[in-house]
Amino acid sequence: MIKQKIYGLIEKGSHGSKLNLRFDYVVMILIVLNIIAMILETIPNINDPLDHFFRIFEIASIIFFSIEYILRIYVSNLTHPSSNRIKSALKFIFSAYGLIDLFAIAPFYLPFIIKIDLRFIRILRIFRFMRILKINRYSNSINIIWTVIKEKKSELAITGFITILVLLTSSFLMYYIEGKAQPNKFPNIISSLWWAVATLTTVGYGDVYPVTGLGKFISALIAICGIGLVALPTGIISSGFMKKINKPNTSTNKCPHCGKEIS
C-alpha cells in the first residue's frame, strides 16, 4: 500500500528505517538552508544581487513543506489512531509537531487571506528541527534531561521565586537610591529592573550602573547573589542527574493514597 510506504518514509524512520532517516536528513538540510537564507536576506550586500534566487528558494521550500504537511495529514490515521479519519487529522494538526509544521508554512499563505507581514514567523521553521530529538540516540538523552528538570521542578521553582523576590526588591531600592542621582538611567522601576537582571545574571552591559555609594553597595550584593543564582540550580540539577545514574531502573512512583505520581 502506498499509504504504508509514505508512512514509512516520513514517520517511521525515527525507529530504524534507513529510507526515513535519509528523508529526515533531507528535511534537516532544507531547514538549515532556509535559516541561512533568512539570515543572508537581512544583509543588503548579499540580498540585493541574490533577491530573485532567495524568492525562488523560499517558494520551493514552501512547496516541499506543504506537500509534506498534506502527506502527514493523509497518514494521520496511522500516526494518530482514533475512531475516524477527521479526528485523526485534527489530532495531528493540533499536536505539538503538527502545529510546528503548520507554523512553518502558514506565514506564506496568510498574507493572501489577511494583509499582514508575518515573514518573521518563518523563524518558527527552526523548531521543525525538534523532530531530530525523536531519533533514538538523542531521544534517550532528552528524556533524561527532561525527567531531571521535571523531578526538580519545585526546587527550581523556589529558586526562580527567590530570584524574582531579589530582583523586585533590589529594583525598588535602586530606584529610590539612584533615581535622584541618575534620573535618565533610573527613570522608573522598569528601568531599574533592567539593571537588576543585567547585574544578577552578571551580564553587565555597562549601559546602566550605579554611581552613588549606597547604590554600588547594593549592586555588589546583587552581583554576589548572582553567584548563588548559578550555584543553587546547578546543584539541584547535578543531584537530579546523579539520582538518575544511581537508580535508573526505578521509574516513577505512585502515591498509595491518591494514585498520583511522586517524583
Chain positions 168 to 187 lying near its own copies, rule: CB under 8 A, are 168-169, 172-173, 175-176, 187
Q: How far is the CB of 170 from its own copies (least distance, A)?
A: 10
Contact between 43 and its own copies by CB under 8 A: the answer reads: yes
Q: Where are the beta strands (DSSP E) in the chain?
A: 253-254, 261-262
Minimum Å distance from CB 78 to its own copies?
Answer: 27
* Euclidean distance between CA atoms 176 and 247, whole angstroms: 52
Distance CA 130, CA 138 (A): 11
By CB under 8 A, tell whether 194 contacts its own copies: yes
Beta bridge partners of 262: 253
DSSP state of 198: H
Query: In angstroms, rounded to a whole number, what is the distance separating the alpha carbons of residues 263 and 253?
Result: 7
Q: Please, which residue, 49 or 256, has the CB nearer to its own copies?
A: 256
Interface with its own copies, residue 226, by CB under 8 A: yes
Q: Where are the alpha helices (DSSP H) in 126-212?
A: 136-151, 153-178, 189-200
Please say whether the beta carbons of 165 and 171 come within 8 A.
no
**Which one among 56, 249, 251, 256 touches its own copies, defined by CB under 8 A?**
256
Which 54-93 positions form the footprint of its own copies (CB under 8 A)? none
What residues from 131 to 170 belong to the interface with its own copies (CB under 8 A)? 132-133, 137-138, 140-142, 144-145, 148, 154-155, 157-159, 161, 165, 168-169
- Residues 6+ away with beta carbon under 8 Å from 75: 3, 6, 7, 10, 11
Q: State the nearest-atom distance from the C-beta of 61 to its own copies, in Å.
A: 16
CB of 248 to its own copies, least distance (A): 9
Asked whether position 252 contacts its own copies by CB under 8 A, the answer is: no
